[in-house]
């Protein structure tokens, strides 16, 4: 709904669907493929109605074979199409990892620059509603590890609305992480929102006391925490990484150079994670700007539990961020 | 100078000498030095200030007569002749 | 090089038997590590080391009984400003602003020094400089302003470190005597009777004056111990001022030997309030040649002080109390003060201390000459 500021209220799910629709309309080479994306409307109802609108050639249901259909998507991209491949959850993407890592990410290099792979692979990440240990993990770091891939994380409605359109303009493979837990979240975006740039991290809130560096669902939780902290007189800056590979390090380094303190927040497991990488880069390049050790809030290192209350405490929540920052700042 | 004014002045001077203490909470019969933790040096500073403000110079042999708030107020009230114009308590 | 000695685990301990070494040569040790077990009259005691270093050589074998103070082992020091925890930013800023981090109190995580702490310290230095500029004409001496609550904390740390060092390094000996103050106090009452409150003297001024004069007779106690006894010309008496919030400041009365009773009283009137407000000048905190601690009021008779290194003596006065006094075969009640001398046995011996206390007593019996 439009209001006087010319913004509209929209769910995260609807933002993705509008992006898909825009993409399908804009370029005939674009098609969507994945499990249940057609007739069922998407496992998370993201593509509901698109089959009716664009037909079965462009909204393609695939068998339950991630390796097969992701490979097909890569082939189609090489052949000149602009496929959008949906992998239901990052957990399932492991079956397609060989295709993504050994083919999509390497072919440009192995062909001496002759073969680009302009495939876009979307996958849902993180916990949803009690989907337990085989559907709920946050494995952005697996893909952020791979040279040859661009890895995006849509932590805001605007990015859910715009990242896909930008990704389709890339000549090389792009993995976009969307977040199951955010699908029903309402947010405001400009009425004319569309394509966004996908090179840079973004400051979602300016502050001077500490930099919260995060991505995905960490963004809205950190903003919530920052609002709480503001009541205590603590002015937190929130950095949304957005692009997990290649990292826009100048953004968060600049932020840390301003605030001199950093907390990295992610839902993923701590060990060998994005937060580990961020922390490292801060140490390497902004050590003499640090007024406190870099701290991290990460997911608890267990397979995601099923019960709601355990699910809730297995990832950082806004309250945890508030408490951690109070501790870092020695706020009584 | 009224009794109440003297009491206020005494408390104020005690506070100056022992800034962390709470002379305003002194009971009339508390032994000031014990309750406020005032040593002989502080006591002398207090007496000097009291002399400066009231013109009452309390000799050593009378130190025993001013051990409590009630006693100081009574003592000063008795000895005070005139309050020097330029040291009027209403001005602080 | 650090010499690790048989510690004194109480005034009554003379020797101990080294039962077991818990470290070998080459071992890195840090403050608080237990490095040996020693059998004493109080049982088997774990012995800690208070410095950081690498054990070079063990000089005493297991089972050997050795006197207190005997070197047990030597260590190579690796202590370089160990224990200062500061953020990288704070360190960088301190270097830029020329702030000594050892003097800054950390308020960050785990007591780490943060940017804010350095900024506060820098601000304090600036105000100290302003103070200094303001006083340059008046007093041609370096001034330094000690300020804020971090100063109080620093004081605690300074006391802790100085007193630990003292107990660790200085073999103290103690002498005590009781002095009849009847004559002195009578003289004081007389003189105060003629004085207005502004000019009145406190008994402690007589004590300070007597100490200064006694030191002229026994100059070995007005000294520093730095690789041997170094006698000092000027008598700068440190006077212990207790702070209300805890802690002590020990401003020195410069040239106490050259000051009359009135001048000493003036010095105290000037110094004590400033000490309590922690606004002393650096010159009042260094060059002290001996320390006096006076318990003043209360019922405590004796104080066994800890010498402030590198000084070699501390004179402690207990409360002035009425005591039974035997003299010329008669028993009487007198106002007395108990005086304790704590002295560095490396620098002087009991005989020196005894001469000092005797002289002090005789001075206080003739107050007119003070």
Q: Which domains does chain A have, with CATH numbers?
A: 7-190 (3.40.50.970), 202-328 (3.40.50.920)
Catalytic: which of A66, A140, A158, A178? A66
pLDDT digit string, tens, across residues C221-266:
999 988 788 889 899 999 998 887 777 888 889 999 999 999 999 9
pLDDT digit string, tens, across residues C88-117:
999 888 888 888 887 788 888 878 899 888
Q: How confident is the model at residue B86 (pLDDT cuts 50, 70, 90)?
A: very low
Q: How confident is the model at residue C17 (pLDDT cuts 50, 70, 90)?
A: confident
Q: What is the mean pLDDT of chain C?
A: 83
For chain A, give the secondary structure using H, E and C. Answer: CECCCCEEEEEHHHHHHHHHHHHHHHCCCEEEEECCCCCCCCCCCCCCCHHHHHCCCCEEECCCCHHHHHHHHHHHHHCCCEEEEEEEEHHHHHHHHHHHHHHHCCHHHHCCCCCCCCCEEEEEECCCCCCHHHCCCCCHHHHHCCCCCEEEECCCHHHHHHHHHHHCCCCCCEEEEEEHHHCCCEEEEECCCCCCCCCCCEEEECCCCEEEEECCHHHHHHHHHHHHHHHCCCCEEEEECCEEECCCHHHHHHHHHHHCCEEEEEEEECCCCHHHHHHHHHHHHHHHHCCCCCEEEEECCCCCCCCHHHHHHCCCCHHHHHHHHHHHCCCC
CA distance C116 to chain A (A): 9
What domains, with CATH codes, occur in chain C? Answer: 2-77 (2.40.50.100), 88-145 (no CATH), 172-369 (3.30.559.10)
Neighbours of C7 (CB within 10 A): 21
Please indicate if any CB of chain C lies within 8 Å of the CB of B45: yes
Share of chain C above pLDDT 70, in %: 85
Angle between helices B3-17 and B69-79 (to 10 degrees): 120
Check pLDDT > 50 for residue C142.
no
pLDDT at B26 (0 to 100): 84
Q: What angle do CA A123, A128, A130 make, to 5 degrees?
A: 135
Please indicate if any CB of chain C lies within 8 Å of the CB of A6: no
Q: Say whether the C–B interface has 3 or more Cβ pairs within 8 Å.
A: yes
pLDDT digit string, tens, across residues A50-90:
999 999 999 999 999 999 999 999 999 999 999 999 999 99
ipTM above 0.85, yes or no: no
From CA B44, how far away is CA B62, in angstroms rounded? 13
User: In sequence order, which residues have a C-beta less than 8 Å from that of residue A45 and are 6 or more positions away?
Assistant: A13, A183
Q: How confident is the model at residue B85 (pLDDT cuts 50, 70, 90)?
A: very low
pLDDT at C147 (0 to 100): 41
Optimal mutation site among C85, C86, C88, interface A, most CBs of chain A within 10 A? C88
> In chain C, which residue's Cα lies nearest the Cα of B20?
C244
DSSP state of C311: B
Check pLDDT > 60 for residue A242.
yes
Residues A211-233, mean pLDDT to the nearest whole number:
97
Is B3-81 assigned to CATH 2.40.50.140? no
Q: How confident is the model at residue C317 (pLDDT cuts 50, 70, 90)?
A: very high
Check pLDDT > 70 for residue C78.
no
Please indicate if any CB of chain C lies within 8 Å of the CB of B34: no
Contacts of A288 in chain C (CB under 8 A): 88-89, 91-92
Please indicate if any CB of chain C lies within 8 Å of the CB of A109: no
Neighbours of A79 (CB within 10 A): 9
Catalytic site includes residue A135: yes
Per-residue tokens: A22: 């825009």
From CA B79, how far away is CA C227, in angstroms rounded? 61
CB A185 within 8 A of CB A15: no
- Checking phi first, is residue C329 left (phi over 0); if not, alpha (psi -120 to 50) or beta? left
> In chain C, which residue's Cα lies nearest the Cα of A328?
C109
Check pLDDT > 50 for residue B91.
no
Residues C5-24, mean pLDDT to the nearest whole number:
78
Q: How confident is the model at residue B24 (pLDDT cuts 50, 70, 90)?
A: confident
CB A37 within 8 A of CB A60: yes
Per domain, the residue ranges of chain B are 3-81
Residue A84 exposed, middle or buried by CB count within 10 Å (0-12, 13-18, 19+):
buried
């Amino acid at each position: 709904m439009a209001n006087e500021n010319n913004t509209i209220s929209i769910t995260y799910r609807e933002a993705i669907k509008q992006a898909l629709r825009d993409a399908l309309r804009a370029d005939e080479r674009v098609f969507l493929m994945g499990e249940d994306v057609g007739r069922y409307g998407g496992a998370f109802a993201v593509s509901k109605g698109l089959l009716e609108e664009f037909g079965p050639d462009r909204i393609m249901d695939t068998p339950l074979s991630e390796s097969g259909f992701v490979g097909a998507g890569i082939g189609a991209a090489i052949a000149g199409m602009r496929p959008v491949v949906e992998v239901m959850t990052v957990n399932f993407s492991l079956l397609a990892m060989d295709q993504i890592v050994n083919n999509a990410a390497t072919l440009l290099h192995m062909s001496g620059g002759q073969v680009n792979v302009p495939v876009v692979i979307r996958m849902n990440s993180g916990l949803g509603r009690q989907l337990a240990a085989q559907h709920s993990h946050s494995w952005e770091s697996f893909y952020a590890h791979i040279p040859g891939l661009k890895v995006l994380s849509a932590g805001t409605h605007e990015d859910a609305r715009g990242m896909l359109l930008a990704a389709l303009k890339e000549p090389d493979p792009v993995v976009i992480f969307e977040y199951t837990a955010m699908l029903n979240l309402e947010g405001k975006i400009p009425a004319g929102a569309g394509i966004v740039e996908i090179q840079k991290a973004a400051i979602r809130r300016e502050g001077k006391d500490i930099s919260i560096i995060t991505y995905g669902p960490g963004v809205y939780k950190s903003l919530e925490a920052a609002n709480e902290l503001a009541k205590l007189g603590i002015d937190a800056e929130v950095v949304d990484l957005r692009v997990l590979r290649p990292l826009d390090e100048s953004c968060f380094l600049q932020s840390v150079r301003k605030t001199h303190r950093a907390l990295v927040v992610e839902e993923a497991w701590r060990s060998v994670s994005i937060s580990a990488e961020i922390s490292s880069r801060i140490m390497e390049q902004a050590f003499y700007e640090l007024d406190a050790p870099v701290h991290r809030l990460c997911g608890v290192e267990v397979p995601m539990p099923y019960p709601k209350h355990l699910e809730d405490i297995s990832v950082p929540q806004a309250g945890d961020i508030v408490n951690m920052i109070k501790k870092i700042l020695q706020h009584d | 100078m009224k009794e109440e004014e003297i009491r206020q002045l005494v408390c104020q001077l005690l506070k100056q000498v022992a800034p962390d203490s709470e002379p305003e909470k002194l009971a009339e019969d508390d032994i000031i030095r014990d309750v406020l933790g005032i040593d002989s040096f502080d006591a002398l500073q207090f007496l000097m200030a009291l002399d400066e403000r009231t013109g009452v110079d309390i000799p050593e042999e009378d130190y025993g007569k001013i051990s409590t708030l009630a006693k100081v107020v009574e003592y000063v009230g008795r000895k005070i002749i005139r309050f020097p114009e330029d040291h009027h308590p209403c001005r602080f | 090089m650090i010499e690790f000695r048989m510690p004194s685990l109480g005034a009554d301990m003379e020797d101990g038997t080294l039962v077991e070494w818990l470290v070998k040569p080459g071992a890195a040790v840090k403050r608080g590590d237990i490095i040996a077990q020693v059998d004493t009259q109080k049982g088997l005691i774990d012995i800690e080391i208070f410095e950081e270093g690498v054990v070079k050589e063990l000089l005493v074998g297991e089972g050997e009984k050795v006197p207190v103070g005997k070197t047990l082992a030597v260590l190579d020091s690796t202590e370089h400003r160990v224990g200062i925890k500061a953020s990288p930013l704070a360190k960088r800023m301190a270097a830029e602003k020329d702030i000594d981090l050892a003097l800054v109190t950390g308020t960050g995580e785990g007591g780490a020094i943060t940017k804010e702490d350095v900024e506060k310290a820098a601000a304090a230095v600036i105000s100290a400089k302003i103070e200094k500029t303001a006083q340059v004409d008046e007093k041609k001496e370096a001034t330094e302003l000690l300020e804020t609550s971090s100063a109080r904390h620093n004081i605690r740390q300074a006391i802790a470190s100085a007193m630990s060092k003292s107990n660790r390094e200085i073999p103290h000996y103690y002498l005590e005597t009781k002095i009849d103050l009847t004559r002195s106090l009578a003289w004081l009452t007389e003189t105060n009777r003629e004085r207005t409150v502004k000019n009145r003297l406190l008994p402690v001024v007589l004590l300070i004056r007597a100490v200064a004069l006694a030191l002229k007779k026994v100059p070995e106690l007005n000294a520093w111990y730095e690789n041997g006894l170094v006698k000092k010309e000027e008598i700068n008496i440190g006077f212990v001022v207790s702070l209300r919030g805890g802690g002590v400041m020990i401003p020195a009365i410069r040239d106490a030997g050259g000051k009359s009773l009135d001048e000493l009283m003036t010095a105290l009137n000037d110094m004590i309030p400033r000490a309590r407000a922690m606004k002393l000048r650096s010159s009042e905190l260094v060059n002290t040649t001996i320390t006096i601690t006076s318990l003043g009021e209360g019922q405590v008779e004796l104080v066994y002080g800890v010498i402030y290194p590198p000084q070699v003596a501390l004179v402690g006065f207990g409360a002035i109390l009425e005591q039974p006094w035997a003299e010329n075969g008669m028993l009487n009640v007198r106002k007395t003060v108990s005086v304790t001398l704590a002295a560095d046995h490396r620098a002087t011996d009991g005989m020196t201390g005894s001469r000092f206390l005797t002289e002090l007593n005789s001075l206080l019996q003739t107050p007119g000459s003070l």
